[in-house]
Amino acid sequence: MSSDFKELQSRWASSKKNIELSAANFDNLYKKIKHKEKENYVFYYGTITTLLITLIVISLFFYYVAPVQETLSRIGAGLMIFGLVFRIFVEIISIYKAKQINNLDTTLKAAENSIKFHQFRKTIHQVIAPIIIGLYTVGFYMITPEFSLYMKFWNVVLIDISYVVIGIILFIIIRKGVKKEMQKLQDIMRLKNDITE
Amino acid sequence: MRKSKNEAFETMYRQHHSMVLQMCLGFVEGDKDTANDLSQEIFISVWNNLDKFRGASSYKTWIYRITVNTCLQYVKKDRKETPLSKSEIENQTTDKDEEKPKFDDIPKLYSAIGQLKKIDRLIIMMVLENQDYISISEVIGIKPINVRVKIHRIKKRLEKILKNNTDE
């Protein structure tokens, strides 16, 4: 094999010479770099921005539009807001963990950091997200009695039913997310085994 | 500052582009479009990390780390990948009837490399690039002695694949 492998190496080297550096279009490459920077920004900060906007809108709603008076409703509104704040906090940790995956690290270290990140994402989808949705849901149904004082009965029923529909959609999205994270996790664990075996 | 970064990047690109592209080609079984996309991803990562280069390792080790990690992350994104069937591999290579020496066909080599495990593909390509055990261990993160054992196994596996492909 050693002589064969030397032959392979020489074939590899001569083939590399044939890979011409087509007049490198750096302008185009720099454009792609800019585009990628934007993409990364959305990847890291897209979710957190959406959550922050939702938090601001809900807080303003409870402060200016519908300042609930009853204790039960206030606790409900508090639970909804707390759920969102907690989710934002979790997202910040997630961004921190994602940034730990560094292309400059050794393959083994990058794989280990990827495993940590995806295990955390799995925990978010499997444990944290359902708890937050639960808090949000309990909070939502705690404020509906006071809302029903100012709204028509059927409007309240409609809001409650639409919330269930949203809940089902969220469940499907979360389930999909868990499956995706599990698959990624398995892939990286297999990779780590391949590195260390 | 920006100008000097551009200059450093462009120099690095010119020096290492063919090596990076060839490794990408080997990694994706000779698929040129995918290899070009992948090599672009690698150089985008090079650009993003250029300021972080501290000279603790050589530029080449540095580029290899980015190349290997980006290739592996690329696979993570792409779940649709399926190994090529034997007939597809044959179609990718040159004329079937043409009798050539064993390793006289680089597409066949890409196909053979593509049948190895992902990490093994990258390790064997670094060996083909004449990198020593220590350099490879600095990229992968395992001891040089383990790299040596690994390379021995991968070479055997590659030899078997090449032999099978030539026999068929």
B139 reaches A (C-beta below 8 A): yes
Q: Do B18 and A8 touch (CB under 8 A)?
A: no
Q: How many domains does chain B have?
A: 1
Q: Please report which confidence band the pLDDT of residue B122 belongs to, taking 50, 70 and 90 as the band edges.
A: very high
Three-state DSSP at B120 gives: helix
Are A75 and A138 a contacting pair, CB within 8 Å? no
CA neighbor of A114 nearest in space, from B163, B69, B39: B69
A103 → closest Cβ in B19, B45, B119? B45
B103 reaches A (C-beta below 8 A): yes
The residue in chain B having the minimum alpha-carbon distance to the alpha carbon of residue A103 is: B66
B139 → closest Cβ in A8, A106, A111? A106
A11 → closest Cβ in B49, B75, B109? B109
B17 reaches A (C-beta below 8 A): yes
- Tokens for A101? 């995956």
CA distance B167 to chain A (A): 16
The pLDDT of residue A21 is above 80: no
B117 reaches A (C-beta below 8 A): yes
- Tokens for A17? 């010479």
Query: Among A81-85, B87-91, B93-97, B104-108, which stretch is predicted with the lowest mean pLDDT?
Result: B93-97
Q: Please report which confidence band the pLDDT of residue A29 belongs to, taking 50, 70 and 90 as the band edges.
A: confident
Q: Which amino acid is at A25?
A: N
* B39 φ/ψ angles, rounded to the nearest 5 degrees: -65, -30
CATH code of B45's domain? 1.10.1740.10
A chain contacts of residue B79, beta-carbon cutoff 8 Å = 183
B61 reaches A (C-beta below 8 A): no
For residue B58, the enclosing domain spans 2-167
Q: Please report which confidence band the pLDDT of residue A177 belongs to, taking 50, 70 and 90 as the band edges.
A: confident
CA atoms within 13 A on the CB side of B166: 15
Q: What is the pTM of this model?
A: 0.81
Q: Which amino acid is at A74?
A: R
B58 reaches A (C-beta below 8 A): no
**pLDDT tens digits, one per residue of A91-150:** 999 999 998 999 999 999 999 999 999 999 889 888 998 899 899 899 999 999 998 888
CB pairs under 8 A between A and B: 112
Average pLDDT over residues B64-83: 72
ipTM field: 0.80
Tokens 């032959």, residue located: A7
Average pLDDT over residues B54-58: 69
Distance separating alpha carbons of residues A188 and B76, to the nearest angstrom: 8
* B165 φ/ψ angles, rounded to the nearest 5 degrees: -65, -35
Q: Do A106 and B141 touch (CB under 8 A)?
A: yes
